[in-house]
Amino acid sequence: MSKKISAIVITGNGTNCELEMAHACRLAGFDEVDIVHISELLCGTKRLDDYDFLNLPGGFLNGDDLGSAKAGANRILHAAVAGGRERLFDQFARFIAAGKLILGVCNGFQLLVKLGMLPDLDGLYDRQTVTLTYNDSGRFEDRWVHLRANAASPCIFTRGLRGIYLPVRHGEGKFIPQDEEILERLHRQNLIALQYSNGEYREATTDYPANPNGSIDAIAGICNETGRIFGLMPHPEAYLHRTNHPRWTREELPEEGMGLALFRNAASFLRSNSF
């Protein structure tokens, strides 16, 4: 009998992609999928410890009024769980230490970056070393992009992928490292899992609109050294079925959307590993 695996999708304070992310987990084969409001974690009725896969969906966390996900990061870092015995961040720390999986998409990626959980260099997952800021275009970008996958990356989620086609929808998606040393380490350790690319997935590009936000070195998604924490600006949960594709009535497409591959990889990894 195969191991049962569970996923939690955190919602609240402006997120709006939780239903699609939960649906992706179910399609990928997770046995239990719960959408949990962050207030349920803070009041103690739900705990991260009870799950294997943590999903941080996109949306407009706190309306993006205080910077992309910064207020959400401060809430996790400093808010105490009911009873006052621990911060919510302590549950995140245990989740990471247990070797479980975390996926942050768009606003969720911004959240992981502002928390310091990505890129998590040297195991310091509470120190911010990169950021996501305003698009070079100065406007909200809503378009589909080609993404080149790094075959040498330790990322669990992108295993077996050469490239993937997904939509972006964000106003603050430009990836910038703290300095050249951080950027060099990201490249050297193959932590850059996805880059904006041309339609053939052959090479990364910094040209607009293929690179919709002006990200340094075309970085669209990064993982930590273990490959178990992954964040990306494009939305894999938005392409789960052929009818999600913008040209589904004009092209012959597989029934399954490309985005589901990331969730299937997560499920496969968790079924074959013990915690």
Rounded Cα–Cα distance for residues 25 and 89 (Å) = 24
3-state secondary structure of 272: coil
Buried b (16+ CB within 10 A) or exposed e, 130-160: bbbbbbbeeeebeebbbbbbbeebbbbbbbe
Catalytic residue (choose from 141, 155, 237, 245): 237
At 135, list the tokens: 């698009």
Catalytic residue (choose from 106, 141, 170, 172): 106
> Greatest CA separation found in the chain?
57
176 neighbors 136 (Cβ within 8 angstroms): no
Contacts of 34 (CB under 8 A, 6+ apart): 6, 7, 8, 9, 22, 46, 51
Catalytic residue (choose from 146, 170, 235, 245): 235
Instruction: Confirm whether 237 is a catalytic residue.
Output: yes
Instruction: Confirm whether 187 is a catalytic residue.
Output: no
Instruction: Confirm whether 235 is a catalytic residue.
Output: yes
At 74, list the tokens: 């401060």
- The Cα-based distances of 70 to 77, 124, 128, 172, 189 in angstroms read 11, 18, 11, 12, 27
- Pairing status of strand 192-197 against strand 219-223: antiparallel
**Phi, psi of 112, rounded to the nearest 5 degrees:** -60, -40
Rounded Cα–Cα distance for residues 262 and 226 (Å) = 16
Active-site residue set? 106, 235, 237
